A and B are shown apart, each in its own frame.
Chain A
Amino acid sequence: MGILNTVIEFSYYLLSAFIAFVLIREIYKTENYQEAVLYSVILVPFILRILRIK
Chain B
Amino acid sequence: MSKQRLNIIKIITMILIVASLIISGKAFLAHRNYKEAVVAGPSVTEVKTLGDYFAPLKGSVADCNIYILDSGKPGGTIFLIGGSHPEEPATNLTAEIFAENAVLKQGKLIIAIRANRSASTVTRPGDAYPQFYNIKTDWGTKKFRMGDRWSNPLDSWPDPEVYVHYPSKQMLAYMDIRNINRTWPGKKDGSITEQICYGFMNVIKEENVDLFIDLHEAELEYPVISTIVAHESGQNIAAMASMMLTDMEFAEPIGIEFSPKSLHGLSHREIGDHSDAVSLLFETPEPFLDRVRGVTDERLLLEGKDPFVMRAGKFGLLYESIDEDGWPIDVRVGRHCSTTLMVSQIWNQTNPGKGVIIENIPKYADVIDNGVGHYFKNPDEAVAEKVFYE
Contact = CB atoms under 8 A, between A and B. Distances in A.
A44 B21 contact: yes
The 7 closest A-B pairs by CB, nearest first: A1-B189, A33-B9, A2-B189, A53-B25, A40-B17, A54-B28, A40-B13
Contact of A48 (B6, B24, B190): B24
11 contacts: A1-B187, A1-B189, A8-B158, A31-B3, A33-B6, A37-B9, A40-B17, A48-B24, A53-B25, A53-B28, A53-B29
Contact of A54 (B24, B158, B189): B24
Contacts of A33: 1, 6, 9-10
B370 interface: no
A48 B9 contact: no
Interface string A25-54: 001100101001100110110011001111
A18 interface: no
**Which size class do B's interface residues fall under?**
20 to 34
B14 interface: yes
A12 B21 contact: no
Nearest to A1: B189
A7 B358 CA distance: 47
Contacts of A1: 187, 189-190
A50 to B, nearest CB: 11
Contacts of B24: 44, 48, 54
Contacts of A28: 10
B170 interface: no
Nearest to A2: B189
Contact of A44 (B10, B17, B189): B17
B384 interface: no
Nearest to A31: B6
Given A1-B187, A36-B10, A51-B25, 7 more contacts: A12-B157, A33-B9, A33-B10, A36-B13, A40-B13, A40-B17, A44-B17
